[in-house]
Amino acid sequence: STLTAGSVSWQSPSNIALVKYWGKYGEQLPKNTSISFTLSNCHTKTKLNYTPSNSNTFEFEVYLDGQRAESFEPKILKFFERIEVYMPFLKQFKYKIETTNSFPHSSGIASSASGMSALALCLMNLERLVNSDITDEYFYAKASFLARLGSGSACRSIQGPLVVWGEHSVLPGSSNLVGTTLPFELHSNFKDYCDTILLVDEGEKVVSSTVGHNLMHKHPFAEQRFSQANHNFEKIIEVLKSGDLDSFMEIVESEALSLHAMMMTSHPYFILMKPNTLSIINKIWEFRRQSGSKVCFTLDAGANVHVLYPNAEKEQVRYFITNELASFCENKKYINDQVGNGAFAL
């Protein structure tokens, strides 16, 4: 390549699954179809500095918030090794990867989806500089493909507002290899949907999602779970067309609890929820009974609670969160977010 030194920068969001991915096979392929809201305020910004190099090895340094972050480097090395067959030019450069997250480092919010998708987009940008005649469609699909190899759910962070991952007969174009957007118009009830993330526990997770996925291999309920998720996916596709918020809440909450039920029934078993996670869930149910609100919750692989609600209810739900839920959060911390449209170049 004739490229000299330079840099590319991308901002990529986190995402929150409505139907959960939990269990994989092969080269990071999902055992069931999942779908997520793309977020906006929770994001990673990554700058990839590249310099031509003849060393023929992977040479890179990772910086988080301006500080060298050597603890992340083995994971990035593994990622580079995995994607090299798809990006044969990788070793022609050495890299300085500078990354920052909009959310606090130890907030318990997974940064792997936003971080891996931001890095994948930077690498695609470099590929486009090396080979200028690639289309936008190829660019974003391959970015999602690469992000998936970094962290499965990261393939759902490239675009928005809703992204599907995993082939399913009800959705033509869906794929195990990449995230895809919905081929129909989303009901207006879901436009600008809100997600407030309650930071219940800022500590390190006791069990990583890698270990969790692997525990699905000999899980007694695995096949039931995968077919349940595929069925819930079918149902939520109808809901996203019809705008039926009651069905939406039921599917989303059941998915969150089923995900955690898998953790509690694997061997070894484990629990990622904390007492305050359950207190918050009960408060949400009580508030819903009293007010008729369409607020609901979901969980990812941790103790934090994502509170989901229509934009039309923003004022009353945020009042409820500030006054009744914040006290269950570590240092009363939470993050107001909403559905977004995906990553962009900086």
Residues that bind ligand PMV (CB under 6 A): 17, 20-22, 34, 110, 112, 151-153, 209, 213, 259, 300-301
- Cβ-contact 31, 63 below 8 angstroms: no
Q: Tell me the closest approach of the beta carbon of residue 22 to ligand PMV, in angstroms.
A: 6
- Cβ-contact 148, 28 below 8 angstroms: yes
C-beta atoms surrounding 287 within 10 Å = 18
- Whose Cβ is closer to ligand PMV: residue 36's or residue 293's? 36
Q: Tell me the closest approach of the beta carbon of residue 36 to ligand PMV, in angstroms.
A: 6
- Whose Cβ is closer to ligand PMV: residue 98's or residue 300's? 300
Q: Tell me the closest approach of the beta carbon of residue 31 to ligand PMV, in angstroms.
A: 11
C-beta atoms surrounding 101 within 10 Å = 20
26 CB contacts (<8 Å, ≥6 apart)?
Answer: none
- Whose Cβ is closer to ligand PMV: residue 11's or residue 304's? 304
Structure token pair of residue 206: 């006791």
Size of the chain in residues? 346
- Whose Cβ is closer to ligand PMV: residue 34's or residue 293's? 34
Which DSSP letter does residue 200 get? S
Q: Tell me the closest approach of the beta carbon of residue 16 to ligand PMV, in angstroms.
A: 7
Residue 164, helix vs strand vs coil: strand
- Whose Cβ is closer to ligand PMV: residue 151's or residue 175's? 151
The burial of 67, by beta-carbon neighbours within 10 Å (0-12 exposed, 13-18 middle, 19 or more buried), is given as exposed
Which DSSP letter does residue 313 get? G
Q: Tell me the closest approach of the beta carbon of residue 177 to ligand PMV, in angstroms.
A: 15
- Whose Cβ is closer to ligand PMV: residue 129's or residue 207's? 207
